[in-house]
A and B are shown apart, each in its own frame.
Chain A
Amino acid sequence: MDYFAQQLINGLVLGSIYGLIAIGYTMVYGIVGMINFAHGDIFMIGGFIALITFLILISFGLTAIPLILLVMLLVSMAITALYGWTVERIAYRPLRHSFRLAPMLSAIGMSFVLTNYSQVAQGARVKPVPPIITGGHTLHEGADGFVVQLSNIQIIVVVTTVVLLAIFTWLVSSTRLGRDMRACEQDQTMASLLGVDVDRTISMTFVIGAALAAVAGMMYLLYYGLVDFFMGFVAGIKAFTAAVLGGIGSLPGAMLGGLLIGLIETLWSAYFSVEYKDVAAFSILIVVLIFLPTGLLGRPEVEKV
């Protein structure tokens, strides 16, 4: 039981990170109907920028951890958002009225560009970072000596995710930008007849998605203590899986899918084999898609109008 509780905690933390990335996939799909395959690499860029910011702050002799974390978060979100904006501007917007596959192919290309650019700029080796946040809490000590631990970094990952999701949900449901985004998602022509600048709204969608991915990248860096140029690929595919599992286009679905993929992966690793954790995650996806083609919280493509 203790062991299970511990795995549940680990799974939720991993799931939070996947969920943050998955939102970017699902938002972009909802509004422009394409899968942004470069999104995983945006997550990787976010991790690198957090690391670089950390090293710069340390080299200035800064030691206040909360301040360092806050600056890392803000800088990483801002610069990664700029990457997201740029990718849309140069690789997708010119192809918006082209044939349907064109932006997707461009996205795959963009993914290669970002991966290799990071490899060239930052080197191919894994970049470790010393533990920035240490310590934790013992929740329960079992009779057999197994200890259920909740580390401070796990708390930070989950709390940051929850706070950001709350802000993000408010933004989408109650602000003018959020309303404009939903209008563009439902009917771009009508949105523009009502004065919505569709191009600008799409840009903002990429900016927000990239900022959330940057947070995920930074959390990944803090949690696993490393980044490398290739980490966006697998994490991106997992988060994409999460978005599809939850129902692509659905924001709560992306978060739910992220949590489920995180849990499945962790529990499978804990009870069966670490080697086959990806197989487990993707198998669940296949099963869900066979019986629920629109995902857990997705809606059928055709609406009665």
Chain B
Amino acid sequence: MGAAAKVEVPCTCPPPELERVPLVQNNRSIGWISNAVAGVAEGKTPKWWWPAFVVSFTMMCLCFAMIAYLMSTGVGVWGLGHPVMWGWAIVNFVWWIGIGHAGTLISAILFLLRQRWRTAVNRAAEAMTIFAVMCAGIFPVIHVGRVWLAWWLFPIPNANSIWPQFRSPLMWDVFAVSTYFTVSLLFWYMGLIPDLAVMRDRATTKLRKFAYGLFSLGWTGSNRHWSNYEKAYLILAGLSTPLVLSVHSIVSLDFSVSQLPGWHTTIFPPYFVAGAIFSGFGMVLTLLIPIRKICGLEDIITQRHVDLMCKVTLATGSIVGYAYGMEVFIAWYSGNPYERYAFWNRAFGPYWWAYWIMISCNVLLPQLFWFKKIRHNLVVVWVLSILVNVGMWFERFVIVITTLAREFLPANWGYYTPTWVDICTYLGTFGLFFTFFLLFMRFLPIIAIAEVKGVTPQADPHHPLGGAKLGGHH
């Protein structure tokens, strides 16, 4: 203290332009956070909820009806046929599973990187991951044709005592996707335990008290428990990080291990992972921009959060753009006429429109996020976030369809068009996704209450707002 007196310090705090925007705005107390978040799932069912739920539920039924029609009739009801044997089913599978990746990125990788802003969005993003992986998981199962034999994918011997063979990336995919779903669910549930205890302690009816009490497993908030809990959370984050990178890498190996021009490239794993995170952040923005408004959570999911997510979208979108460019360059540089043709065909062949939708939505439009004005205009951000996912759907369409439709031999060429069953099944998965998401919003805390409390200055024992005395030890 004495030494510091010699130097004149004009101000102890940083100047206003250097001060960070707080994560929770308006200096809310930690009790307010419980009230605001738990209140969303506690009060009367809001008016908008029922129409939204009925529409989603109807669409989900449409999905199941289409699957029943497919199973009872055969895959001929889809637009599949020689030479395009992988149609919308695989496009939709890769698309949905890619969307899931943002949830794990936010919950695991941003946790390891100590990005404290993640606390406001991780719960909803993890829920999105789980529901997206559920939608994704439907497609590989139903696309096998004889769905009742899908159990051949599991490591159990079939009727002739033959085991699945693990030299195929399709088997790796089974393990990657099922592990991804299970670990995401475990991570999500573990994060929910303290918040379910919040719901239990606030419950007013016996049924709610019982249900939340059961699923919160008797959580008390003991610091001895928190100590083990935080360690387990750190380990799960550490395990999920290589997991999320491996899942879409393995999905990409389904393509790149094959010999077909346009698929057989080593850039696929990182390029698929970047695209997955890109589309996932698009979906997080699409969901959270309306939710923060409807649920009155603008103080927790702030403009700064939207801003940061736009920047992640911009970064991953640029990586995707780089990958597109590199693909084209390598196709030219390889001197392989089939590779060269595959990429020329993508841009100027019969599916040129899909390619240019992909380029404009994934590479060009996200560049608008360089501008602060755009990032701060929520309507524009919301529209762009939807276009990101339109673009990413077309990316998978371009990859799957153009390559299959124009293989090595011109005798094997064809043109693929989906049928109404393809379209209705895909639309139906949105129903499945939103049905689950609406139920999640209605019954569970959509923001990690305990984690958001932990990032406020009131929660810091070394901050004056947390009760610390200036100049004292604590």
Q: Does B associate with A? A: no
Q: Which A residues form the contact surface with B (CB < 8 A)?
A: none
